């Protein structure tokens, strides 16, 4: 079967989990062509042919995502981007002729499949926002962001043949979706973590992975970061996402992104500090590592993941990283580690693969 796999290019989480699924589909004998943009497209190119398409953008200010700027930026560009994306997909699939479209929150690929009458299967964690019954404390911190995210999620891909929702927090489906075309499955694990259970460490480093500190995304404030991390005497840190640079302290090491290195560092780590992306949070919890999550404000998907880290008592969330937040988190690591050990253990991706494999044989007859 020929499968066109669309992957959202914002961040790396979508591409990391999609690469795992693409590899599995290829092992089953399917031919897969991916569509994506930016660094995500580069990562996916290691697994299969990639059609590069433009992507929508998020606009930030000091408080996080700026909805007004994001809307204005994308409304002005949407018609042009849509034409460019569909043209690239038409050219790239002229000889490929996909039987099924799978999309990880990538709208243009979804629209391509719908326009051509090809069944579309959604695999992402974003649809937990609109299709799962979420804990009140997970949505109460920013009801506006929740309503906006729910509306966008419902509108961006409204008529997929099936929705597979990946989640680490096991929220039940809303009643109206319980017997329909929606299935929840555990978060996707990279092969490097399969078979690796609880790797609790009391003396390992803390892995720091995020592009935002304070409240300014992508700012180059390494001096502030070093000052905060140095407030924890004797604690070692490995920092990803800031590029390789001269360390400001003997207990802080900066590393460029390398998938094999970060896997090793996560396994040896005592705990993890990150944004609110689901991939890294779910991998950390799988390994039994407490998480300090600092989500990008206004990006409700990240805020939801961070809230559930706290609800599960496997770490804490904070709007920004500062000395007090860091040291309170470090002091609570033993308690959070004990809670991580109580989480249901996931050994592989069998549940997701079984659901997906059950859908594919009948895909041609599932156009809705």
Residues 122 and 171 grouped into a single domain: yes
Q: Is the pLDDT of residue 59 over 60?
A: no
According to the 3-state scheme, what is the secondary structure of 317-355? ECCCCCHHHHHHHHHHHHHHHHHHCCCCCCCCCHHHHHH
Residues 135 and 252 grouped into a single domain: no
Q: Is the pLDDT of residue 215 over 60?
A: no
Asked, for residue 198, whether it belongs to a domain, the answer is: no
Give the pLDDT of residue 265. Answer: 94
Q: Which domain holds residue 290?
A: 206-340
For 110, which DSSP code?
Answer: H
Q: Is the pLDDT of residue 247 over 80?
A: no
Domain count within the chain: 2
The lowest-confidence range among 13-17, 22-26, 243-247 is 243-247
The stretch 331-337 carries a mean pLDDT of 96
Q: Which residue would you say has higher pLDDT here, 246 or 13?
A: 13
Give the pLDDT of residue 145. Answer: 87
Q: Is the pLDDT of residue 13 over 70?
A: yes
The lowest-confidence range among 192-201, 248-257, 338-347 is 192-201
List the CATH number of the domain containing 329: 3.40.50.2000
pLDDT digits (tens, 9 = 90+) for 229-240: 999 988 999 998
Residues 178 and 236 grouped into a single domain: no
Give the pLDDT of residue 279. Answer: 92
CA distance 35 to 314: 35
Percent of the chain with pLDDT over 90: 65
Asked, for residue 307, whether it belongs to a domain, the answer is: yes
Both tokens of 283, joined, read 């991998």
Residues 152 and 10 grouped into a single domain: yes
Asked, for residue 196, whether it belongs to a domain, the answer is: no
CA distance 1 to 29: 8
Q: Which residue would you say has higher pLDDT here, 70 or 192?
A: 192
Give the pLDDT of residue 242. Answer: 67
Give the pLDDT of residue 68. Answer: 62
Q: How confident is the model at residue 55 (pLDDT cuts 50, 70, 90)?
A: confident
Q: Which residue would you say has higher pLDDT here, 365 or 287?
A: 287
Q: Which residues are registered as beta bridge partners of 166?
A: 185
Asked, for residue 152, whether it belongs to a domain, the answer is: yes
CB distance 270 to 205 below 8 Å: yes
Asked, for residue 193, whether it belongs to a domain, the answer is: no
Give the pLDDT of residue 357. Answer: 94
> Which of 238, 221, 297 lies closest to 60 in space, CA to CA?
297
Residues 320 and 354 grouped into a single domain: no
Residues 223 and 259 grouped into a single domain: yes
Residues 28 and 115 grouped into a single domain: yes
The segment with the largest mean pLDDT, out of 71-80, 259-268, 331-340, is 331-340
pLDDT digits (tens, 9 = 90+) for 125-184: 999 999 999 999 999 888 988 998 999 899 889 999 999 999 999 899 999 999 889 999
Asked, for residue 197, whether it belongs to a domain, the answer is: no
pLDDT digits (tens, 9 = 90+) for 269-284: 999 999 999 999 999 9
Q: How far is CA 265 from CA 100, 167, 243, in A?
A: 37, 23, 16
**Angle value at C-alpha 62, between 60 and 65, nearest 5 degrees:** 30
Residues 169 and 284 grouped into a single domain: no
Q: Which residue has the tokens 């579309």?
A: 120
Contacting residues for 39 by C-beta, under 8 A, at least 6 apart: 9, 12, 15
Q: Is the pLDDT of residue 366 over 80?
A: no
Asked, for residue 200, whether it belongs to a domain, the answer is: no
Give the pLDDT of residue 224. Answer: 83
Q: How confident is the model at residue 37 (pLDDT cuts 50, 70, 90)?
A: very high
Residues 333 and 355 grouped into a single domain: no
Q: Considering the entire predicted model, what is its pTM?
A: 0.89
pLDDT digits (tens, 9 = 90+) for 87-119: 999 999 999 999 999 999 999 999 999 999 999
The segment with the largest mean pLDDT, out of 13-22, 47-56, 57-66, 81-90, is 13-22
- How many CA atoms, within 13 angstroms, populate the side-chain half-sphere of residue 117? 2
Residues 300 and 357 grouped into a single domain: no
Q: Is the pLDDT of residue 316 over 90?
A: yes
Give the pLDDT of residue 367. Answer: 42
Asked, for residue 199, whether it belongs to a domain, the answer is: no
Q: Is the pLDDT of residue 217 over 50?
A: no
Residues 262 and 357 grouped into a single domain: no
> Which of 325, 320, 311 lies closest to 271 in space, CA to CA?
325
Give the pLDDT of residue 214. Answer: 44
Residues 112 and 75 grouped into a single domain: yes
Q: Is the pLDDT of residue 344 over 80?
A: yes
How is the chain split among helix, strand and coil, in percent rounded to 5? 45, 20, 40
């Amino acid at each position: 079967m020929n499968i066109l796999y669309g992957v959202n290019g914002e961040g790396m989480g979508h591409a990391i989990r999609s690469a795992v699924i693409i590899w599995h589909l290829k092992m089953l004998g399917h031919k897969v062509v991916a569509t994506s943009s930016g660094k995500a497209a580069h990562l996916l190119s290691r697994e299969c042919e990639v059609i590069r398409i433009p992507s929508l953008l998020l606009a930030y200010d000091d408080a996080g995502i700026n909805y007004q700027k994001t809307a204005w930026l994308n409304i002005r560009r949407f018609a042009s981007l849509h034409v460019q994306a569909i043209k690239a997909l038409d050219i790239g699939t002229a000889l490929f002729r996909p039987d099924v479209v799978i999309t990880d929150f990538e709208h243009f690929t979804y629209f391509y499949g719908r326009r051509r009458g090809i069944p579309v299967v959604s695999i992402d964690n974003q649809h937990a926002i609109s299709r799962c019954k979420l804990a009140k404390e997970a949505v109460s911190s920013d009801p506006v962001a929740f309503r906006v995210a729910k509306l966008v999620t419902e509108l961006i891909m409204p008529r997929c043949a099936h929705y597979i929702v990946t989640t680490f927090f096991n929220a039940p489906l809303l009643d109206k979706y319980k017997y329909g075309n929606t299935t929840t499955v555990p978060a996707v694990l990279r092969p490097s973590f399969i078979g690796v259970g609880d790797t609790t460490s009391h003396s390992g480093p803390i892995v720091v992975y995020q592009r935002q500190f304070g409240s300014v995304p992508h700012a180059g404030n390494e001096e502030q970061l070093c000052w905060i991390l140095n407030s924890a005497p004797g604690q070692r840190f490995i920092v990803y996402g800031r590029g390789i640079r001269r360390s400001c302290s003997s207990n802080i090491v900066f590393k460029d992104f390398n998938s094999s290195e970060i896997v090793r560092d996560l396994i040896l780590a005592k705990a993890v500090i990150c944004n609110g992306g689901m991939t890294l949070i779910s991998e950390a919890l799988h390994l039994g590592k407490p998480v300090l999550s600092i989500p990008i404000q206004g990006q409700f998907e990240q805020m939801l993941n961070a809230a559930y880290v706290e609800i599960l008592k496997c770490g804490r969330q904070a709007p920004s990283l500062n000395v007090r937040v860091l040291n309170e988190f470090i002091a609570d690591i033993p308690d959070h580690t004990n809670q991580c050990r109580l989480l249901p253990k996931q050994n592989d991706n069998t549940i997701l693969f079984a659901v997906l494999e059950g859908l594919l044989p009948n895909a041609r007859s599932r156009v809705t």
